[in-house]
Structure 1
Amino acid sequence: MPRPDWRLVPAAAALWLAAFLGYLLHWALAAAVGLAAAAVAVVLLVRARTSQRVHPGWPLLVAGVLAVLPVSERLREAATDPLRELAAAGAVLEFRFEVVERPRPIRAAGYGATPSGVSGVVIAGRAVGEPSGGAVVVFAPADQWVDLLPGQHATATARLAPAEEGGLTTAVVKVRGPPSDVDPPGAAQRVAAELRQGLRDAARAVLGPEAAGLLPALVVGDTDGLLPEVRADFDTAGMTHLLAVSGANLAIVGFFALLLVRLFGAGPWVASAVAAAAMVGFVVLAGPEPSVLRAAVMGLIGLLALALGREKSALPALAVAVLGLVAVDPGMAVAFGFVLSVLATAGLVLLAPRWARALERRRVPPGIAEALAVPAAAQLVTAPVVAGMSGQVSLVAVAANLVAAPVVAPATVLGVLAALVTPVWTWGGQALVTVAGPETRWLIAVAEHAAGVPGAALDWPSGWWGGLAAAAAIAVLAVAVRLPKVRALVALGLVGVLLVVVPVRVVLPGWPPPGWAVVACDVGQGDAVVLATADTGRAVLVDAGPEPGPVGDCLDRLGVRSLAAVVFSHLHADHIGGLAAGLERDPAAVVVGPGRAPGWAWERVRGAAADAAVPVVEVTAGSRFGWPGLTIDVLHPEEGGAQAAELDGSEINNASLVLLAHTAAGRVLLTGDIELGAQAELVAGGVDLGAAVVKVPHHGSRYTDEAFLAAVGPEVALVSVGRRNRYGHPAQATMDVLARLGARTARTDTGGDVAVVGGVPLGVTSRGRRAPPRCSAGRPPWGRCGPRPRRGS
């Protein structure tokens, strides 16, 4: 086996380190590392006593020069860009910029979210003209900006906000209105957009919603239609890399083209030219964005490694790619996607062949040996980065990717062909998508079953420090297994984990706890609270979270067969998104306050209730309703308040229903998302807010008044919040106030479903975070555990 050629690796590592430190800390560090690398290179060259044509000192010298000139200079220009000063002052100005990457949807339940859960788009752009040409990130309304394509110029009135220090992004641009003076897109971008739309249309026409959302993501990284629960399964199963364009996509397309032309007897040069053309075409199809261009380079390296079968040739090519990409775009050095691509390619060319040969020496058939070695090597080298990205370590990733691997290439090729064919031959495109359907559904099934394994993923610190900790742990294990005595200790430790830790995580206490009165369901970034009645299997649901699946699963776990009522505190998407799951349990009524904003949300609630023949009942302050074992008083808002169809987010939040429930666990105050205004109004009005349990307002946001919480005086505080949400909920200041008041705090992001049981003191039980829950009676024919779709929907 030839030894890998490492001569260019120190140069690539030096330039990468320079950009990494310059980006995260200060641009001057990039220059310092570059100067140090150049100095070392000069010393090596002066002392050189070798006849090598490419002495390692020369590429190291080149890397040092690149670090000092283009890399540190670009970082310095970004750090001193005039837009930073304007952004710090929160300036509002007419802004013209060029779109660099396709708009990406922001799926965040809450104010501004549409019925599909898309609240806006984020666009990577570049300022055009005065006062600078710096890189910007634009946040804009989805319906008005989602169709922009790379290369287009647009103008809008926007408010600037500061970007993170040290990076290439000079300002965050927040836009509320539509773009103006929009240039027409280029021909290539327009054709690529039509092809991508054709693939989406064909997938929606012949596949179910899960597969229709996954196929475009698998083929061209288009995740616009990907269902959140499918993404969650892929994250837990360690299959997230399949949802983004990577070098693997390019390699698949290139090899398919290569195989096709070689079948017709083409020579190596013609075949290579056709394969390269196919890969260039795929770049145009997916969009010539930085992430796709990076994947194209990595895909070409993967082709080179596999075609030559020589690690010695592939490693220098990988180093050259790193040098070129980081020099052109220093931001690559801290991009998780770039790191994943480099590490995965390195694992492919360095570890996988060695492991495959080792397995073959142990009499494993060659094909099976390669199938085992490739995903194992890729998973090992990328595990630290994935841990830092997701905040978890998947224990099933190798097995899941091994089972998924055989169908990835056929599904990708069929999807690409469908995208090319659909615009000119709709039936043909749909036929290709139909053939890709079983492969796509297989990937969904693999991710679902892998994610459903108890303890499939372990929590891990997120961010760069978490990634470094994972890398250190892997390095220690790698060294340990080479030492016989230490290997025995490691084996004993793993046995201990299997016998003690795993059962503790998997075999959790029975759920639900006997005598539960209140349960805050773990529905992510949203609210869903279940109040028990004296009738077994019957309860009241207050808010329904952002999606039907999680709240439906929570009700299933609690054994709630029917609902006395579904109550909505207000109409934001993170409270009404699971309405369908509530309507499936035949509620007697849907209860709402006087608020009618956002308008689309009110129409959705009213329409869904009418379709299910469930009456909608409006309540205001002073209303009372109840059932055996449960009575609810409405404390806020007053009659006639906040009925406009369009209000801003704070006005909608402050119009939330505030409910005082009398339960077996005592008084429970449910506060919706009220902010400081409504809280102060309730305190000033002398309303009796005292309660043993409080659902903390607005997911524990910083807009929570200490006087309000003191007036409640809770023994238990429930915080319904999503893990690693982008709002910073719950605020540390709010948690500190609850601690000072002596409240026991239970959070759904750390504890999963949380139940309160009556007693002195009150009992608080957390179900514990597990892998995404599954249907208790098996997978229904219409898809996941969420509601069955209505005919025609």
Structure 2
Amino acid sequence: MRMLVPAVGAWLAALVAVGLQTSFVVWLICIIVAGALTVWCVFSGQGGFTALLAISLGVAAFVSFSASISADQRRPDHLIEAASADRSVEIVARIDGLANATDRGPGQIRVEATLITLDGGALRVPATLFGQTKRDAVAIGSTVEATGRVLLTEPSDASSALFFADEPVTVTSPPPWYLAWADSMRRGFVDLCSDLPGDGGHLLPGLAVGDTSTVSLELDAAMKASSLSHLTAVSGANCAIVVAFAILLLGRMGAGRVLRVIAALVVLLAFVILVTPQSSVVRASVMASLALLVHLTGRPSGGVPVLAGSVILMLCVDPWYAYDAGFALSVLATAGLLLLTRPLAAVLGRVLPRGLAMVIAVPLAAQLACQPILILLSSTISVYGVAANILAAPAAPIGTVVGLIACLATPALPAVAMLLAWIAYLPSAWIAGVATVTSSLPIAQMPWIPGPFGAVVLAAATALACTLAMLPRWRSHWSGKALVGGLCICIGVYGGTVATPSLSQALSRPQDWIVAACDIGQGDALVLRAGGGVIMVDTGPDPALVSTCLDDLDIKTIDLLVLTHYDADHAGGVAGVVSRTDRVFVQAVHDEAGERTTRVLESAGIPVDVVTRGEHGTVGTIDFTVIWPESRELTGNAGSIVLSVTISDTRIVLLGDLGETEQAALLSRMSAHTDTDIVKVAHHGSPDQSAALYERLEASLAIISVGADNTYGHPNDETIDELRTAGSTVLRTDLRGMILISPGAPAYSVWSQKSVPDGAGG
């Protein structure tokens, strides 16, 4: 347990040194104090806590020194100059991760890479690359060239810069042979699984090798809501299975200890290459490697010191792991399993059979340890997470192991691989079903206090509850009273900070609203309501978030759903609204995202109409007219469906994601006098806008639906200035949360979920 002290010290040093950009100061303080304590221990002849503190400060000093050296390498002068000048640059980059599709348009990908050169100058900078190319073309280890603009990130971000390519990305060289085999094998397995039906086939590559490229947005949301997403993040259990298999196999063959350990390390390295070196994978592999090296000495290895050692080693090599959510969740989940499982099983064993108590204790320990970090990512607690993990537990190892064997067999024995894939498909489908069912149950997620304060409160409440529950039996009388008292305090804190504000907020909402902008992150989801009719325009990226918004607004039926285009930030949440929708307007299908979206709608039996300029109608007392696109040939952002809506005396224009060129074309077709009251600003307030269009509209209110702290730079400051120049009051969901607009005299009444401080610009 003493190893936890330097591990925590290393983590704190990394957080401070990286986050506050004070690595040299932290290093200097740690090295001075550690040196003084070491001298005192030597001359006094005493050790104990003082020696442990000296060692911890020495480790912290090493981490800070590493951060200091890396900080200069991560932000060279010519990178800073290129970002500040906002000019086009030419880069050469090495691909470091799997490419993911984005909502920026067809063929647009997002991938982690290392910038090797910038305008011919050598550098070595971790970056996130956004560009257009085939996802299969950019394999890990390949080299690419591109021209575009670079944007610096926050100092604590794993990527030092974001690069946005102006033209298609060019692959100049394939990955080296020692990486190419893994990419070929992984892609072959994904293709093999594509022949398997339903969500089970889509999920299997994630279970086996951590490739979630085929997992739908709906299934991904369900896995997160049910706390099962860790099953697709390859980590400790997978590495343990691989290492154990290698050691047992060689042991059967009579190999000695040294040969078994060396072979296990080689197999482990190959496994990491196959599943890609994500932070959770690296942590698990480092921990497994340390355990193997200890095993080489003939001594037993304890789980806690090996975990602490892996944390220290990784933070010394890369202090930016301290801010990586995947790394933190991986470490905390492992720590929870090592430290909490047996005590929790003992507590539960007082009222449950011993075997059942252990079954419940394992997922409960992991969830209790991880929940404070999960609150920072989403301010909700999964109510059925433990139950979902218990149900999925028997299937997960079978799907993982058999799926991995199927992947390995794919290149040489495709028929055998398909047979194994079908065997692994059954547990995979079971896990997908568990996720879907548990995430759709009532109150699947309980709201909690957002942000760091919420994480601290939850961690303190968890620690208090665990401590009281685990008190020795001879103090059970006082333990029971203390547990009840602690429970009452926790309920009081929850009621005062979460439930009461939520109830107060619900009671304060206006009942006569006609426009609602849902807070669904980086995306659009607007609701129009009048005369008993409801029109919804876009659904945002997350089915759970848009469904929650509609529940909050008490919207049971959507008479007309308009999907302006098929990008994930506008249509990704469609699964969350299909059960309420009667009719849908869409643009012409032009890509896989469109096919997937329309397939979801049609399978639900909802009429789907492709519409263009001139389509009009009435829903309740809402009169609407489609004023863009002019033809079915216009697709994507350029072909966004633009609505002109009239509710009594209120005129509303919703611009989808139209760019400046299309906005100018739309402007040329408008009458000279366009009395507009409310405008939904195009493309989340990006700089690609026509100031002349907004001047013509002269809207009183301009809604920008945008995610907080998004990486796209939305909304753009110049766009906000243009809107204000046009006489519009800007309303932003990233600052205000949900926005409700009601008619009033002489001006409209605006209600916001969050208060906006003066000068916040929203």
TM-score interval for Structure 1 and Structure 2 normalised by the shorter chain: 0.7 to 0.9
Equivalent pair of 2:133/2:169 in contact (CA under 8 Å):
no
Matching of residues 629-778 of structure 1 within 5 Å: 629-633=621-625, 636=627, 652=638, 657-662=642-647, 667-673=651-657, 678=663, 681=667, 686-691=672-677, 695=680, 698-699=683-684, 711-713=698-700, 726-727=711-712
- CA–CA separation in structure 1 for the residues paired with 2:641 and 2:483: 59
Match status 1:49 vs 2:45: yes
CA drift of 1:765 comes to: 11
1:204 aligns with 2:183: no
Q: In the alignment, which residue of structure 2 is the partner of 1:283?
A: 272
In the TM superposition, residue 319 of structure 1 has moved relative to its aligned partner by 2.7
**Corresponding residue for residue 292 of structure 1:** 281
1:457 and 2:457 matched: no
Tell me whether 746-755 or 483-492 shows the greater mean CA deviation.
Answer: 746-755
Rounded to whole Å, the distance in 2 between the matches of 1:658 and 1:764 is 22
Counterpart residue identity of residue 419, structure 1: C
Amino acid at match of 2:383: L
- Give the conservation status (yes or no) of the 8 Å contact 2:287–2:309: no
In structure 2, what is the Cα distance between the partners aligned to 1:43 and 1:127? 44
Report the CA distance shift for 1:175/1:762 in structure 2 as closer, same or farther (over 3 A). Answer: closer
Change (3 A) 1:529 1:222: same
Contact 1:152–1:183, Cα closer than 8 Å, also in 2: yes
Structure 1 residues 208-247: aligned runs within 5 Å:
208=198, 210-247=199-236
Amino acid at match of 1:124: A
Amino acid at match of 1:659: S
Cα distance between partner residues in 2 of 1:125 and 1:579: 35
Cα displacement (A) at 1:217: 1.7
Give 2:311's match in structure 1, choosing from 289, 305, 322. Answer: 322
Q: After superposition, what is the alpha-carbon deviation per residue over 1:236-288, rounded to whole angstroms, capped at 9, x for unaligned?
A: 22233222222222123333455666678888777656654543331121134
Q: 1:400 aligns with which of 388, 391, 394?
A: 388
* Residue pairs, 1:771-790, within 5 angstroms: none
Is 1:97–1:128's contact at 8 Å kept on the other side of the alignment? yes
CA distance in 2, matches of 1:573, 1:61: 47
Q: Give distance in 2, aligned partners of 1:390 and 1:229.
A: 17
In structure 2, C-alpha distance between the alignment counterparts of 1:602 and 1:488, rounded to whole Å: 54
Q: Does the residue aligned with 2:394 lie in a helix, a strand or coil?
A: helix
Aligned equivalents of 2:227 and 2:594: distance in 1? 38
Show the counterpart of 1:39: 35
Distance 1:626 1:408 in 2: 51
SS of 2:173's partner is coil
What secondary structure sits across from 1:125 in the alignment? strand
SS at match of 1:206: coil
Given that 1:14 and 1:33 are in contact with CA atoms closer than 8 Å, whether structure 2 keeps it comes out as no
Does the C-alpha gap of structure 1 residues 302 and 458 become closer, same or farther in structure 2, counting only changes over 3 Å?
Answer: farther
Give the match for residue 612 of structure 2: 618
Report the residue type matching 1:93 in the other structure: V
Give the equivalent residue in structure 2 for 1:778.
none
Q: Is the 8 A contact 1:218 1:243 kept in 2?
A: yes
Write out per-residue CA displacement over residues 380-408 of structure 1, whole angstroms, 9 at most, x where no aligned residue: 22222222233433333333323322222
The aligned counterpart of 1:14 is 9
**Residue 74 of structure 2 is aligned with which of 70, 78, 83?**
78
Partners of 1:239 and 1:224 in 2: CA distance? 17
1:141 match: secondary structure = strand
Change (3 A) 1:88 1:226: same
8 Å contact kept, 2:706–2:734: yes
Return the offset for 1:113: 3.7
Gaps of 5+ in 2: 472-477, 755-762
Tell me which amino acid in the other structure corresponds to 1:18: A
> Could you say what secondary structure the match of 2:121 adopts?
coil
Letter in 1 for 2:232: L
Residues 232/548 of structure 1: CA separation in 2 closer, same or farther (3 Å cut): closer
Tell whether the 8 Å contact from 1:37 to 1:60 is kept in structure 2 after alignment.
no
**CA separation of 1:600/1:15 partners in 2, compared to 1, >3 Å: closer, same or farther?**
closer
1:260 and 1:390 map into 2 onto residues whose CA distance is 43
Deviation of 1:417 (Å): 0.4
**Alignment correspondent of 1:488:** 484
Q: Which residue of 1 aligns with 2:88?
A: 92
Which of 72, 93, 102 pairs up with 2:97?
A: 102
Shift of 1:659: 0.7
After the TM superposition, which of the residue ranges 123-132 and 406-415 deviates more from structure 2?
123-132
Q: For the residues of structure 2 that align with 1:506 and 1:427, how far apart are their CA atoms?
A: 58
User: What is the CA distance between 1:414 and its match in structure 2?
Assistant: 1.0
**How much does 1:466 deviate?**
5.4
- Asked if structure 1 preserves the Cα contact closer than 8 Å seen for 2:93 and 2:114, the reply is yes
- Distance in 1, matches of 2:47 and 2:571, equals 73
1:618 match: secondary structure: coil
Name the amino acid aligned to 2:675.
L
Query: Could you report, residue by residue, the CA deviation over 1:447-500 in whole angstroms, capped at 9, with x for unpaired residues?
Result: 233323433334456666654454344445556766756533223345668999
CA contact (8 A) 2:704 2:731 kept: yes
How many angstroms does 1:436 deviate by? Answer: 1.5
Instruction: Find the counterpart in structure 2 of residue 390 from structure 1.
Output: 378
Query: Normalised by the size of structure 1, how large is the TM-score?
Result: 0.73
Per-residue Cα deviation, 1:277-328 (whole angstroms, up to 9, x for no partner): 54333112113466533231234568899999x9983333223222221222
Q: Structure 1: which amino acid aligns with 2:673?
A: V
- Post-superposition Cα deviations, 1:176-206, rounded to whole Å, max 9, x if no partner, equal 3345572332222111112211221221112
Paired residues for 1:569-584 under 5 Å: 574-575=569-570
Equivalence for 2:436: 448
Counterparts in 2 of 1:23 and 1:452: CA distance versus 1, 3 Å:
same
Aligned partners of 1:561 and 1:529: how far apart in 2? 12
Note if contact 2:130-2:165 (Cα within 8 Å) is conserved in structure 1: yes
Cα distance in 2 between the residues matched to 1:584 and 1:392: 24
Q: How many equivalent pairs are there?
A: 730
Q: Secondary structure at the match of 1:190?
A: helix
Q: 1:378 matched to which residue of 2?
A: 366
Stretches of structure 1 lacking an aligned partner (at least 5 in a row)? 769-793
Deviation at 1:420, TM superposition (A): 0.6
Q: Structure 2 CA distance, aligned partners of 1:173 and 1:229?
A: 29
Q: Could you tell me whether the CA contact under 8 Å between 1:455 and 1:506 is conserved in 2?
A: no
| Equivalent in 102, 120, 125 of residue 135 of structure 1 | 125
Matches within 5 A, 1:224-623: 224-258=213-247, 275-288=264-277, 292-300=281-289, 313-359=302-348, 362=350, 365-460=353-448, 467-468=455-456, 470-475=458-463, 477=465, 484=479, 486-493=482-489, 525-527=522-524, 574-575=569-570, 616=610, 618-619=612-613
Counterpart contact for 1:19–1:30, Cα < 8 Å: no
Q: Closer, same or farther in 2 for the Cα pair 1:33/1:131, shift >3 Å?
A: farther
| Partner SS, residue 360 of structure 2 | helix
Q: Structure with the greater relative contact order (CA < 8 A, sep ≥ 6): 1 or 2?
A: 1
Root-mean-square deviation (CA, aligned residues, Å) is 5.5
For 1:288 and 1:570, the matched residues in 2 are separated by 35
Counterpart of 1:791 in structure 2 is none
State the secondary structure of the residue aligned to 2:309: helix
Correspondence for 1:773 = none
C-alpha contact (below 8 Å) 1:311/1:350 kept by paired residues: no
* TM-score, with structure 2 as normaliser: 0.76
Letter paired with 1:72? S
- Of residues 318-327 and 599-608 in structure 1, the stretch that sits farther from structure 2 once superposed is 599-608
Other-structure match for 1:783:
none
* Residue 141 of structure 1: how far off its partner (Å): 2.5
Q: Alpha carbons of 1:506 and 1:45: their partners in 2 closer, same or farther (altered >3 Å)?
A: same
Distance 1:432-1:66 versus aligned 2 partners, 3 A rule: same
Distance 2:443 2:574 in 1: 30
2:91 partner SS: strand
Q: Which amino acid aligns with 2:624?
A: I
**Structure-1 separation of matches of 2:241 and 2:371:** 23
Distance 1:68 1:603, change over 3 A: closer
In structure 1, what is the equivalent of residue 759 of structure 2?
none
Q: 1:300 to 1:345 in 2, by over 3 A?
A: farther
- Distance in 2 (CA, whole Å) between partners of 1:273 and 1:696 is 60
CA 504–186 in structure 1, closer or farther in 2 if over 3 Å, else same = same
User: Identity of counterpart residues, as a percentage?
Assistant: 29
Query: Aligned pair in 2 of structure 1 residues 321, 528: CA closer, same or farther (>3 Å)?
Result: closer
- Partner of 2:140, secondary structure, is coil
